[in-house]
Amino acid sequence: MSFKRARVPGYLAVPFSVLALLMTAAAPASAVSNSAIHDQSTASGNSTGGLRLAADPTDPVEPAPKPSPEPSSPYKRPGMWIWYVDSSHGGNLTRIIKRAKKSKVGTLYIKSGDGTSVWSQFTASLIKRLHRAGLKVCGWQYVYGRNPVGEAKVSAVAKRRGADCFVIDAETEYEGNYSGADRYIRKLRNLVGPRFRLALSTFPYAHYHPGFPYSVFLGPGAATDNLPQVYWKTIGDSVKEAIGITYTYNRMYKRPIYPVGQTYLAPPLKDLIRFRRFTSSYGSAPSWWSWQETNRSEWSALARPTGGPYPSYRPVRTHPTTERGARGDHVVWLQQHLVGAGLDLAITGIFGKMTRRAVRQFQDSRGLEVDGEVGNRTWNRLLKVQPVRVRWSGSRSRKLGAGISSSRRGPLSADVAPKRNEIAGAKGPAHPR
């Protein structure tokens, strides 16, 4: 998210250690340790190599996306993000509730922590008051990956205080940090249990971030939902383009997608309506960043009837083709599924000859065209397989395996640099939050 690190003088952020919460860790969940088998690759260092959108025209498309089957999911309601409660209608809960109802906002995302500090604004009494008004409340926290276990303990406080859900805001600091992401998500799941709704909110253009551990945050035993930050004006794309690209590169992670739109930087009001209409085409309702930057006209636009999805718009229902030479987290995810299908393969994040061989074996076993490329047909069949869960945070073997990055515990592809931080805009680092 934008504005992630700024502090307001006098605002209380409590180090977790001060709370003296007694939390004990359960036994680690079963996992597959990463193999040291080497997948030789002839790929260049291009992070986008081997990934293309030109799908086989004979490939069948999936049925139109359906909303999550759980009607009580707080992510399905239109939402608004709150950074500082006292900067949102002056912290007056009566006014906040009235404004939310008038603009048909059903879920409030309120910052509950930052790194290893719990934020004092996220209290049980605040949540109870909002619940009585019929609103759902999600905590959210910006995480840095320097102390993943400590950050997970802070995240779990949101549930203890009565939150309906929790959102992990992981961005630049987690690029390439598979080990930290694994430690964080395992500890958090241990503390909040397997059924509590967790979501990831991060970069929307997943193909720009080959080293980001989407496959950990959105993988088995991790987040249940995906809230990408689709800030089209900041990115520099149209609403339609930004939504389409986001769905194209996020659908493969098999989590319901609820885009976060922007009211900051005063985008045209017609774009707010467009964003609502395009997301409704996917059976989704957006949330917005952020309350304190939403002006009166924008609030009115959020309440205005939209007319529903655009009749002529065709939602994205295919997957990009992945082939030899590709490297990045989408290859990690591919390899996790191939191993889950019973194939012997290292999870390196690099699509080399051994991955191509495994793809051909999978295609042959499923009666698909055997071409060694992962097009829409192959992705659709692979995504029915339960992927293995890699313990990236496990102990290193005595001899460093070729499938493990030497700079950190993670796949070789973890070292591939991001193409761009799109949610920071065209001129570099995001403005501090």
What tens digit of pLDDT does each residue of 205-241 get? 999 999 999 999 999 999 999 999 999 999 999 999 9
- Identity of the amino acid at 23: M
Per-residue model confidence (pLDDT) at position 27: 32
Q: What is the pLDDT of residues 368-383, one digit of tens each?
A: 999 999 999 999 999 9
At the second CATH level, the architecture of 74-303 is Alpha-Beta Barrel (3.20)
For the cut 60, the answer to whether the pLDDT of residue 6 exceeds it is no
Compute CA 245 distance to the chain's CA centroid, rounded to the nearest angstrom. Answer: 14
Q: How far is CA 170 from CA 122, 125, 204, 251, 385, in A?
A: 19, 27, 12, 19, 27
Q: For the chain, what are the domain ranges?
A: 51-59+318-415, 74-303
- 15 confidence band (pLDDT: 50, 70, 90): low
- Identity of the amino acid at 73: S
Q: Is 72 helix (H, G, I), strand (E, B) or coil?
A: coil
For the cut 80, the answer to whether the pLDDT of residue 24 exceeds it is no
- 72 confidence band (pLDDT: 50, 70, 90): confident
Q: How far is CA 375 from CA 44, 324, 379, in A?
A: 21, 12, 6
Tell me which residue of 295, 308, 352 sits closest to 326, measured CA to CA.
352
Tokens 């969940």, located at residue: 29
Of all residues in the chain, the percent with pLDDT exceeding 90 is: 78
Q: What is the pLDDT of residues 42-63, one digit of tens each?
A: 333 344 456 665 444 334 444 4
Mean pLDDT of 311-339: 97
Are the C-beta atoms of 334 and 350 separated by less than 8 Å? no
For the cut 70, the answer to whether the pLDDT of residue 307 exceeds it is yes
Q: What is the pLDDT of residues 177-208, one digit of tens each?
A: 999 999 999 999 999 999 999 999 999 999 99
Mean pLDDT of 137-153: 98
For the cut 60, the answer to whether the pLDDT of residue 406 exceeds it is no
Per-residue model confidence (pLDDT) at position 274: 98
Q: What is the pLDDT of residues 96-135, one digit of tens each?
A: 999 999 999 999 999 999 999 999 999 999 999 999 999 9
Per-residue model confidence (pLDDT) at position 33: 45
For the chain, what is the mean pLDDT?
A: 85
Tell me which residue of 124, 130, 186, 201 sits closest to 158, measured CA to CA.
124
Are the C-beta atoms of 211 and 328 separated by less than 8 Å? yes
Range scoring the smallest mean pLDDT among 80-94, 300-314, 330-344, 385-399 = 385-399
Q: Distance between CA 234 and CA 265 in Å, rounded?
A: 8
Q: Distance between CA 430 and CA 433 in Å, rounded?
A: 8
Mean pLDDT of 14-30: 38
Per-residue model confidence (pLDDT) at position 148: 98
At the second CATH level, the architecture of 51-59+318-415 is Orthogonal Bundle (1.10)
